Every structure is written in structure tokens, then in C-alpha cells.
Amino acid sequence: MNSDITVADPKNAVNITAKTDYNTTIIIDKHRAFLQRLFPTKLQQALNESELIQAKTELEFRENALKIAKKTQIQSIKETYNDFLVTGKGTIRKDRTVFFAKQLQELEVEINKITSMFYQLIEDQYANLDRISIPFLKEMEEKRIEESAGRFRDTVDKLMLDFKNILNEEVKA
């Protein structure tokens, strides 16, 4: 039936022939490309090798460019954080210094008050020693008062050292 239409209308015959030639050309090109890939000519091999070298060079260039960009970004981030760290540390250290100076001042005032009260207590105890008439008991009481004064001084010194050590404390990893 198609042959009747083709014969009847010459334009259809030309269209069908053109389509057939086009399809045939595509099929031949596909087979030729397949065969060329399987059995490339020396020229095709050289072209393929050249394309591979070019692609490899381009990839290396891109990789190097990315490495440089990454290093630049890291350096920029480091500089930003270092700047933040320096300015932040300055403020924190200033505030910490003021805080500890105030705490030390308050501690000194309190220690002086407590020491004055303790010294008054010791003076009162020494005054009471005169009322003890037995030398052995008087000597024992005097020794107890001296030991008490020594313990007080040792305790105050230890506590002041503990306060000083607070300044040197750090967070350990």
C-alpha cells in the first residue's frame, strides 16, 4: 500500500527516501563510532591521548586553584578568630584583674578585722594568765595560747596562698 502512495505522490517518495537516508546515516555513524572506539586509528589515538592530557592538566589546575582558595579561606578565618581572641582576651583579662583586685582588697580587710579580734582574744588570755597561781598550769596555758596563735597564723597564710593559687588555675584539657 505504501508503494501505491509513493508512486501516486512523488513528494512522499522523496520524504521517505530522505528519512531512510537520514536514519541509515545515523546507524552507520553509530557503528563507525563504535568501531573507531574499538579500533582507533593512530590519529584518533593521538587525539584521545591529547584530550586526556588536556583534561588531566585542567583537573590539576582546578585542584591547585581549590587548594589555594581553601588555604586563603583558612588563613582569613584564623586571622579573624585571632583578632577576636586578642580583643576578647583583653576585655576578659581586664575584668578579671579588676575583680580579683577587689576580692583581694575585701579579703585583706576581713583578714585584718579577724586578726585584730584574734589578737584581742590572745591579749585577754595572756592577761588571764596572771590569775593562775600554779606555775605548771600557767605554763601549760601559755603554751596553748602560743600554739593557738601559731595555728591561726598558719591557717591565714594557707588561706591567702589558696586565694593566690586561684589566679593560676586554668582549665585542663
Q: In whole angstroms, what is the distance from residue 6 CA to residue 15 CA?
A: 10
Residue 130, number of CB atoms within 10 A of its CB? 8
Question: What's the farthest any 2 CA atoms get from each other in the chain?
Answer: 156
On the question of pLDDT at 93 being above 80, the answer is yes
Pick the more confident residue, 52 or 112: 112
The whole-number pLDDT of residue 169 equals: 77
pTM for the whole structure: 0.48
The whole-number pLDDT of residue 30 equals: 67
Looking at the chain, how many residues does it have? 173
Per-residue pLDDT reduced to its tens digit, 37-50: 677 778 878 877 88
The whole-number pLDDT of residue 46 equals: 82
Q: Taken in order 97, 103, 104, 109, is the CA torsion positive or negative? A: positive
Q: Taking all residues of the chain, what is their mean pLDDT, rounded to a whole number?
A: 83
Per-residue pLDDT reduced to its tens digit, 14-36: 566 666 666 766 676 666 666 66
Q: In whole angstroms, what is the distance from residue 36 CA to residue 42 CA?
A: 11
Q: In whole angstroms, what is the distance from residue 77 CA to residue 70 CA?
A: 11
Contacts of 127 by beta carbon, 8 Å cutoff, 6+ apart: none
On the question of pLDDT at 71 being above 50, the answer is yes
Q: In whole angstroms, what is the distance from residue 37 CA to residue 41 CA?
A: 9
